[in-house]
Amino acid sequence: MALISIKDVTKIYNTERGRTVSLDNVSLDVEQGEFITLVGPSGCGKSTMLNLVGGLLMPTSGQVLVNDEPVKGPGPDRGVIFQQYALFPWLTAQENVEFGLRLQNVPKKERAERAMHYLSLVGLQDFANALPKELSGGMKQRAAIARAYAVHPSVLLMDEPFGALDALTRVQMQDDLLETWEKEKRTVVFITHDVDEAVYLASRVVVMSPRPGRISEIIDVPLAYPRGEEIRLSPEFAEIRARVWRGVHHHE
């Protein structure tokens, strides 16, 4: 049984300018422990799909199941990481990580220990008492990743998390994310419009096309983890990258 099961989902937005079909009869199964990337041009419904799994949106028709349960709203079993980091600016890095734990009434001592564990996991142990404004973009996103991890979700949903970072930081963040993920495996659904990023991270790349939003192709990435520079520069990577590239750009 798949961990995430999207069944015949259609999502229609009714706006003042008319009806937009954001997702048109889309189905997708994601297995436990998979790293899925959703890639496609803007308007292909990838963010909508993520928000449906996250419970921040409800489908117009069809069903979204996580752990066999229909999604009724957001919940701590599905962690979300936003492009704009969404750290609470009035809380320190550690307090941000503890936010979800506090809601679960985790005792103070355990809360602090878990927060420090996840801050160390993302390399921010020395910045536990820093406010978000004192952190760089990459560090903010690491803190957000630690915050999502801390509540022990079974699924991590990442909405273009590195989209606002410069190219060099971005590559570093990709390596670091994979390292974190291999230490503590979660099922990840990761949105990007960067083909390299999609292939480098994923065990499966889901290519989407716009107007109406559909899945046009699913491409397996049979490259072993851990991945590094050798993989990035390998002919196998280039070949898969070319397939994904064609899949994305031939629909524009």
Binding site for another protein (CB under 8 A): 54-56, 73-76, 78-80, 82, 84, 86-91, 99-100, 103-104, 120-123, 125, 127, 131-139, 142, 145, 147, 151, 169, 172-173, 176-177, 179-180
- Give CA separation, 119 vs 98, 135, 146, 187, 218, in Å: 11, 13, 6, 20, 34
Write down the least CB distance from residue 150 to another protein, Å.
9
Token representation of residue 169: 């930081």
Nearer to another protein, 152 or 243 (CB): 152
Nearer to another protein, 230 or 252 (CB): 230
Distance CA 28, CA 26 (A): 7
Write down the least CB distance from residue 34 to another protein, Å.
20
Distance CA 29, CA 217 (A): 14
Nearer to another protein, 135 or 199 (CB): 135
Nearer to another protein, 21 or 130 (CB): 130
Nearer to another protein, 21 or 86 (CB): 86
Q: Dihedrals φ, ψ of 192, to 5°?
A: -155, 160
Residues for the chain: how many in total? 252
Write down the least CB distance from residue 162 to another protein, Å.
12
Distance CA 193, CA 195 (A): 6
Distance CA 142, CA 137 (A): 9
Write down the least CB distance from residue 84 to another protein, Å.
5
Total Cβ atoms within 10 A of residue 214: 18
Write down the least CB distance from residue 8 to another protein, Å.
25
